[in-house]
Each structure stands twice: as C-alpha cells, then as structure tokens.
Chains A and B, each alone.
Chain A
C-alpha cells in the first residue's frame, strides 16, 4: 500500500482547482506588485492560489509542512525538514500570467526525509497535467512520457530563461552562458518563461536540456520528480548531485 498515494491524489485535485482559479483570473484585470526587483512580479492570484492549496492540504494533513513561494516572501521559514513537506509554486511564470502569455503552471513537489516522493505540474493554458510518483514513471494527462534520448549536443534543443539581473556579474555570466551554448552549436535555445513547464518539456522529449541559475526550490521540486521519472537527469551546474536547497547552484539537465 503506497503511503503517499492519497497525498498525491489530493495534490492533483488541488492543482486542478488552482488551475481553474488562474484561468478565471485571466479573464479579469490583474493587479501587479514588484517583489525584489522591477522584474520580480507577484499578483493577488499568486497569493490566493497559494492560500487555497496550503489551507486545503493543511486541513486534510495537519501535521505536514509547507514551503510556498508567497509564504516565504511573507517571512515564513524555508528550511527543509525530514517531515512530509509540500513545496509549492502557486503560479510559476507570473510574468507570463501578467501578460497572458502561454506557459503558466502550478507546481507542487512533495518530500519525505528530504527525498522527493512525487511531483505535480499543471500547465494551465495548455491543459497539461504532468505527474510522477517516485519509482512509478512520469505522465502527461495520464499518458506515459519519456525524455528524448538525444545524446548529440549539436542536435539538441536547449531551454533556459533570461531576465534582467541587478548584479552585473550575474548578468554578464547569463549572456556568456547563452553564447557558449549557441556556439556549440545546438539546434536552438528556447525561453518560454516557466521553469516548471521547462522541466516538463524536457521530460516529454520536446527539448533536450534545461539550465537555469537563480531558480528556486519551489520551481524545481515538482518538475525534478517528473523529469527523473521520465528517464532524465537533474544535476547541479558543478556536476554534483543536486541538493534540494542549494539555490546558488541550480539544476542542469543533460539527458
């Protein structure tokens, strides 16, 4: 009997509710605030979706812990403990959401003893529900997905994200990384705007790798489970196994 299956099913149901809330919000005016910089946006919908998810899960599983993007922004602790923990990004791709640009997702990763047990990513506008339970494979809308299997870097499609960086060295490095990758040459680089969706695009073979410096744990947790179960690899950019909490060292995902 799978001890976490009930949690996963509940998580999927809440994610669908969250997706509906996001789609409804897209029909209305969206009020936007800036967080750490003019390009780090948050909306009321981010906060409402996170409250919905956390309050519903807390009611059903009162001993569980939470790491949510908006809760952390409001001062909640973000340390990962051994207990069952839900790691939540209520809207991954908030900038896309503000603009009504496709590639907006809800992302949930669930850990026990600091190991990811399942991941859920719902790409709301595409209506694609990605799920993976550790050891049981990865799925999109119930159909199994696998990575591309591409091993030739010159035939690969690479995903990343680019945005303004206040730190000029970080900015310089971001552009230099793109130049290195494009010069290999690869087939192309795409920047759709949602980290969780990017990981799922690699998981279903639509792209061959994703790299990102500056990603958060709530962007990675759900997608990492899905990508790993689809046969992919998630690693730190220093070529070490990825640790869930090392934001400084983000995941790189060669197939």
Chain B
C-alpha cells in the first residue's frame, strides 16, 4: 500500500476524508443501536456534564481504526482528553473527534446526536465530517472544495437583517447563578432585537450544521470544546459562512467559545450583544 505521506498533500487529505466518512457512518450506526439500549451514565466536570460507556467505546473504535491506517497522525478526542491526554494542536496531521456530540440527548434518546470528526494540518482545519445518528444525514466539507449534506451542496442563509434571524445556542455545563445570569442575559438581549426566535437542540455540531444549511442565521456558545467546533467550522466556511471568536476576532479553536453565522453582519451584531462566560481553555491543564 502506498504510504499516504509520500503522496501529494491534496490527494492524501482526500483519502483521509474518505476514511473519515466511512468510520463516521460505522460509528454513527453503533450509536444508533446503543441509543435503544440501557445506558450507564456518569458525570464529568459538573452533574450536568454527562458521559456514557458508549462515548468511550465509540471514540476507541474511531481512534484505533484511524491510528492503524495513519500511524503517524495525532489525535484529540473528547474522552481521551477527559482521561488526561493533552489537548494541544501541533503542525502534525491531527484528528479532532467528538464520538457522541449531544451525550445528554443520547441518554434521553432525544433525536439530535452526532459523530463529529475534524482534521487539521499545520494547525489549519482541512476537512470535517458530521454524521446525524438518528436520521443518517451526513455533512462533509473539505477546505476549498465546498460543503455538502448527503451530497447536496450547502449554502448559508444570506439574511443580513437581524430582525429576520433565527438564532441557535446551547446552555453549557455550568449552572451556577452567575453563569446563568449572563447566559440568560445574552439570550434576552438577542431575543429583544427582536429576532425571529432562539432554538436549543442539545448538539453543538448539528446546530452548527443548521447554520451551514441556512436553516438558522447564527450560533453562539460558551462552554463547547475544540472537538465540537473543528469539523463544523470547515463545513460552515465552505458553505459561505463565517466562524469567529465571541470577541469578534478570528476563531480560537481551544478557547471554548464561538460565534458562527451566515453573514458577517449578523455575526458582528451577535458579538456586540454578548457578555462573556469563562470556561477556561481546552489546551490548558485541568
């Protein structure tokens, strides 16, 4: 078998993307089976930050499959990181994996759960794959090659008028009074634009895919992780949208916060309304 790293980079990443799609589907189908069964649940950083055995098994499957195929690549995975592996992005080809995005939804069989696989080289996000475990929808994008949903080209909403916008967000794991005050304050400000509405579906990656598909105009969140953003950022950008930091600057993948939108105008408006909530960084020691 040809050593992938001796090939042209572009061809190599295309091959990696094909492998990512196959393993995302396999993992997603496993999750779909697991959702019908009894789940053993525990909590991580807070009582509302859940993890199950399935998260760990699915991540092991994805990483072991990829590692066998690409032995020199690096991996950042949600459960590996929880187990103490450092979450540092180097120049090496790096897979950034959320085995079950929407673990709380998974526990409840609420139909918004995804497998997310992102890939970065020289710290640049190259492609992303997100598989919707309940309905089998597959979102993919490769830098410079467009974004697709089940093979159909994705295009963000071109809406620039905030009063016609649908906004998505997620609550995050912290529930202390101070955090909730800021979280609800941010939401109230945006609702008061007034926007068409705010939706919360419980899966950051699928919510971000709805920005890419044009079904919503903006997404903002404090408290998500690099493995929630990595794949979706490529998908949104390739669909014509923007993905930036909550301060308005460029996306900081490890900062645990993001604003994504179909248009820069909407992104800028959202940034202006937000008070920050600190969740630390993925690349700091816990």
Taking a contact as CB atoms closer than 8 A, the residue among A98, A154, A162 that contacts B191 in the complex is A162
Would you call B110 and A201 a contact (CB within 8 A)? yes
Taking a contact as CB atoms closer than 8 A, the residue among B109, B163, B171, B191 that contacts A189 in the complex is B171
Enumerate chain A residues within 8 angstroms of B210, measured Cβ to Cβ. 101
Taking a contact as CB atoms closer than 8 A, the residue among B184, B194, B199, B214 that contacts A191 in the complex is B199
A188 CA / B43 CA spacing, docked (Å): 13
Which of B48, B50, B111 has the largest count of A CB atoms less than 10 A from its CB? B111
Would you call A163 and B197 a contact (CB within 8 A)? yes
Enumerate chain A residues within 8 angstroms of B200, measured Cβ to Cβ. 189-191
* Known A101-B210, A201-B110; contact A162-B175, beta-carbon cutoff 8 A: no
Within 8 A of B (CB), among A145-198: 148, 154, 157, 162-164, 171, 175, 178-179, 182-183, 185-193
- Chain A at the B interface: SS class: loop
* Known A39-B196, A99-B196, A164-B195; contact A182-B171, beta-carbon cutoff 8 A: yes
Enumerate chain A residues within 8 angstroms of B108, measured Cβ to Cβ. 148, 157, 187, 205-208
B15 in contact (CB, < 8 A)? no
Q: How many residues of B contact A (CB 8 A)?
A: 39
Within 8 A of A (CB), among B209-229: 210, 213-216
Enumerate chain A residues within 8 angstroms of B202, measured Cβ to Cβ. 188, 190
A205 CA / B35 CA spacing, docked (Å): 12
Within 8 A of B (CB), among A32-59: 37-39, 41
Within 8 A of A (CB), among B106-124: 107-111
Would you call B110 and A182 a contact (CB within 8 A)? no
A162 CA / B188 CA spacing, docked (Å): 9
A-contact 0/1 string along B40-53, CB 8 Å cutoff? 00000001101000
Enumerate chain A residues within 8 angstroms of B187, measured Cβ to Cβ. 162, 175
The chain A residue sitting closest to B46, CB to CB, is A185
B84 in contact (CB, < 8 A)? no
Q: Within the complex, what minimum Cβ distance (angstroms) separates B70 from chain A?
A: 35
Would you call A179 and B180 a contact (CB within 8 A)? yes
Which of A101, A186, A193 has the largest count of B CB atoms less than 10 A from its CB? A101
Taking a contact as CB atoms closer than 8 A, the residue among B163, B177, B216 that contacts A38 in the complex is B163
Q: Within the complex, what minimum Cβ distance (angstroms) separates A26 from chain B?
A: 11
A191 CA / B175 CA spacing, docked (Å): 18
Would you call A206 and B188 a contact (CB within 8 A)? no
A100 in contact (CB, < 8 A)? yes
Would you call A178 and B184 a contact (CB within 8 A)? yes
Would you call A39 and B104 a contact (CB within 8 A)? no
Taking a contact as CB atoms closer than 8 A, the residue among B110, B181, B197 that contacts A207 in the complex is B110
Would you call B177 and A187 a contact (CB within 8 A)? no
Q: Within the complex, what minimum Cβ distance (angstroms) separates A146 from chain B?
A: 12
* Known A99-B166, A162-B187, A187-B50; contact A157-B110, beta-carbon cutoff 8 A: yes
